[in-house]
């Protein structure tokens, strides 16, 4: 069996597991860097995915606990859309991806990990970012530590705002 070492993950493994909705609770803590919150809008915010598909994988969620897209208020939907556009620009500036996957998983069967709080995924993609590891070893290699990605994206956001 091959081993891949990711020593930065031990902090996450040892941390206390949360009850409740992370999209509701984390913004209330006002510990944005610790909680990987990159930006706060009026009705929605941007948070890095703690289980990223690729470096720079972020999510945009409304502050209000709402489980379906059609139940968003107009101002929430507009803020989410504006934050998605802002993050595309910031990720391009910081990481120079070749493309993006942007999507919303509504319902568990659609792949939603957090079913009852709607959110948009933004995943930067690069030519060649898929390799043999997921196919042969059922393992995804994330080549950058979360803290480093956070700082790069935060700097890019600061330059844009």
Asked if 159 contacts 92 with a C-beta cutoff of 8 angstroms, the reply is no
pLDDT recorded at residue 134? 47
DSSP 73-118: -HHHHHHHHHHHHHHHHHHHHHH--SEEEEE---SGGGT-SSTTS-
Q: Which domains does the chain have, with CATH numbers?
A: 21-160 (3.30.428.10)
pLDDT recorded at residue 135? 42
pLDDT recorded at residue 136? 38
CA 135/CA 126 separation, integer angstroms: 17
CA 91/CA 69 separation, integer angstroms: 24
pLDDT recorded at residue 3? 56
pLDDT recorded at residue 137? 43
- Residue 11 structure tokens: 């902090």
pLDDT recorded at residue 144? 67
Count other C-beta atoms under 10 Å from residue 135's C-beta. Answer: 9
pLDDT recorded at residue 94? 94
Burial class (CB in 10 A: 0-12, 13-18, 19+), 64: middle
- Residue 152 has phi, psi (to 5 degrees) of -60, -45
Which positions are annotated as active-site residues? 119
pLDDT recorded at residue 55? 87
pLDDT recorded at residue 9? 58
pLDDT recorded at residue 13? 61
pLDDT recorded at residue 10? 63
pLDDT recorded at residue 14? 66
Q: Could you list the beta-strand ranges (E) of 18-155.
A: 37-40, 44-48, 58-62, 99-103, 120-125
Averages of pLDDT over runs of 10 residues in the chain (161 residues) are: 58 65 94 96 95 88 95 98 97 95 85 86 84 46 72 88 86
CA 58/CA 153 separation, integer angstroms: 10
DSSP H helix total and E strand total for the chain:
5, 5
CA 90/CA 58 separation, integer angstroms: 11
């Amino acid at each position: 069996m091959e081993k891949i070492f990711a020593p930065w993950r031990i902090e996450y493994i040892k941390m206390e597991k949360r009850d409740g909705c992370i999209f509701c609770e984390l913004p209330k803590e006002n510990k944005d860097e610790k909680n990987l919150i990159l930006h706060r809008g009026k009705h929605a915010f941007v948070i890095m995915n703690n289980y990223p598909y690729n470096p720079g994988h972020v999510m945009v969620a409304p502050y209000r606990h709402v489980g379906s897209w059609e139940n968003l208020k107009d101002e929430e939907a507009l803020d989410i859309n504006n934050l998605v556009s802002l993050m595309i620009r910031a990720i391009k500036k910081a990481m120079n991806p070749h493309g993006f996957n942007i999507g919303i998983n509504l319902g568990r069967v659609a792949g939603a990990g957090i079913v009852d709080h709607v959110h948009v995924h933004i995943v930067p993609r690069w030519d060649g970012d898929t390799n043999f590891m997921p196919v042969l070893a059922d393992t995804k290699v994330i080549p950058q530590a979360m803290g480093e990605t956070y700082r790069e994206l935060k700097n890019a956001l600061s330059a844009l705002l």
